[in-house]
Amino acid sequence: MRMNSPNTAPRIARGGKSIYGAPLGILMLECMNMPPYAAALRDALGLPVYDIYSMITWFHAGLRPRRFS
């Protein structure tokens, strides 16, 4: 499967639905190739989805907090 094909996100969402059975509160994507498909999984499963990109963004926000003036 090519990761950049147009039907990759729907296929990943279907895969997420097929393994989703346990009572989960979040989904954590550990693979570096998965962040582009986090939104499709969130939409399909109705769960918050976290990945390496969202973790780095969150961490960076703590290091360089926004200044409100």
| CA atoms of 9 and 64, how far apart (whole Å) | 32
* pLDDT tens digits for range 24-39: 788 888 888 888 888 8
* pLDDT tens digits for range 47-58: 899 998 888 988
Q: Quick one: average pLDDT of 39-51?
A: 88
H/E stretch holding 28 reads: strand 27-28
| CA atoms of 27 and 7, how far apart (whole Å) | 21
Q: What are phi and psi of 49, to 5 degrees?
A: -120, 125
Q: What totals of helices (H) and strands (E) does the chain contain, helices first? A: 3, 2
